[in-house]
């Protein structure tokens, strides 16, 4: 199923997972999927190496299993900055051969140790390229608090519109902890004429190292109530985990009540956390779907 069709029917609820490290068994992710499948997400996205490390085949294998063995719609991430047109074409052909219809088109993070290829400079270039290769559902990424390389939010929204005009069917946001930032971004996107569905990316924070790492990477701002939570429970792992789950649940309830198109949960391959959040919001999202 193409994901764009799901947005026409309901508030979408989806998960992101990532392949295991080369030092870990692939069975670890299948164990996670065994637990996630019972939560009935609308789709599961699978990340793909942005740094040219070559885990694309593994990502395709996992996405195939999500579809064929778990009966869940998969989406595969496809970064482009460190790949040639020939390499991207080969990956698209493999995706197509496995019956996968959904791609998240990304520029990918720049790796200081790898010289970027020159075939794709922006995600919009990749989106146009994918459109030429087959009838895929194409998602794009967006940044509620501005991409760190953009000079301003206005420039970032302008670039986002180029991405949508290139053929992105819907968007998935970078993680954020302040819903007001998302609402402001959504309003700016609407004013700019961006009218595709936008899923809100939510990452439950369950340990201090995770939040420090993610904020450094994506630049998400931290509301005062979030900082207080971190400070109070940073030395109590179980309490911080439970507080992080509760914070994510409150974010989701507020977003759904405000008419969000969907929620994309960054699971970090943590089935326990994904299950707790899914159980807590199932009635809220279910009620919204029936409205």
- Interior/surface letters 125-138, b for 16+ CB within 10 angstroms, e for the rest: bbbbbbeeeeebbb
CA distance 79 to 177: 25
List, for residues 128-179, the tens digit of each pLDDT value.
Answer: 999 999 999 999 999 999 998 899 999 999 999 999 999 999 999 999 999 9
pLDDT beyond 60 at 50: no
The per-residue pLDDT for 52 is 46
Average pLDDT in the chain: 92
Q: pLDDT higher for 116 or 39?
A: 39
CB 111 within 8 Å of CB 136: no
Look at the alpha carbons of 40, 138, 108, 189 in this order and tell me if their dihedral is positive or negative: negative
CA distance 290 to 144: 28
* pLDDT over 90 percentage in the chain: 78
Give this prediction's pTM: 0.94
Strands (E), 18-71: 43-46
The per-residue pLDDT for 42 is 97
CA distance 170 to 150: 21
User: Which of these ranges, 45-54, 197-206, 253-262, 275-284, has the smallest mean pLDDT?
Assistant: 45-54
CA distance 115 to 207: 33
List, for residues 20-31, the tens digit of each pLDDT value.
Answer: 887 788 899 999
Q: pLDDT higher for 205 or 86?
A: 86
Options 5, 16, 93, 132, the catalytic residue: 16
85 band by pLDDT with thresholds 50, 70 and 90: very high
CA distance 245 to 248: 5
CB 29 within 8 Å of CB 20: yes
69 is catalytic: no
List, for residues 32-45, the tens digit of each pLDDT value.
Answer: 999 999 999 999 99
Packed helices 153-166 and 123-133: angle between N→C axes, nearest 10 degrees: 10
The per-residue pLDDT for 288 is 59
Nearest to 123 by CA among 101, 144, 138: 138
**Ramachandran angles phi, psi of 4, nearest 5°:** -60, -25
Q: Which two tokens stand for residue 80?
A: 């482009």
DSSP string, 95-117: HHHTT--EEEEE-----TTSPPP
Q: pLDDT higher for 255 or 110?
A: 255
56 band by pLDDT with thresholds 50, 70 and 90: low
């Amino acid at each position: 199923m193409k994901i764009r069709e799901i947005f026409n029917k309901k508030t979408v609820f989806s998960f992101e997972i990532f392949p295991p490290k080369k030092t870990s068994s692939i069975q670890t992710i299948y164990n996670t999927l065994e637990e996630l499948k019972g939560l009935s997400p609308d789709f599961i996205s699978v990340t793909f190496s942005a740094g040219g490390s070559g885990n694309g085949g593994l990502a395709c294998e996992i996405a195939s299993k999500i579809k064929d063995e778990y009966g869940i719609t998969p989406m595969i991430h496809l970064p482009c900055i460190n790949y040639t047109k020939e390499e991207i074409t080969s990956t698209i052909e493999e995706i197509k051969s496995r019956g996968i219809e959904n791609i998240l088109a990304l520029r990918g993070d720049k790796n200081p140790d790898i010289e970027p290829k020159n075939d794709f400079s922006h995600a919009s270039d990749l989106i146009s390229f994918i459109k030429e290769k087959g009838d895929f559902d194409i998602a794009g990424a967006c940044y509620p608090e501005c991409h760190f390389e953009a000079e301003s939010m206005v420039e970032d929204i302008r670039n986002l519109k180029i991405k949508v005009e290139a053929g992105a069917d819907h968007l998935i946001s970078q993680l954020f902890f302040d819903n007001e930032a998302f609402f402001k971004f959504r309003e700016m996107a609407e004013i700019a004429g961006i009218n595709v569905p936008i899923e809100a990316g939510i990452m439950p924070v369950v340990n201090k190292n995770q939040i420090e790492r993610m904020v450094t990477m994506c630049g998400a701002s931290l509301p005062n109530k979030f900082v207080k939570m971190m400070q109070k429970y940073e030395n109590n792992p179980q309490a911080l985990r439970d507080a992080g789950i509760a914070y994510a649940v409150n974010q989701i309830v507020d977003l759904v009540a405000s008419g969000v198109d969907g929620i994309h949960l960054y699971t970090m391959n943590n089935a326990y956390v994904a299950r707790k959040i899914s159980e807590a919001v199932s009635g809220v999202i279910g009620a919204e779907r029936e409205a």
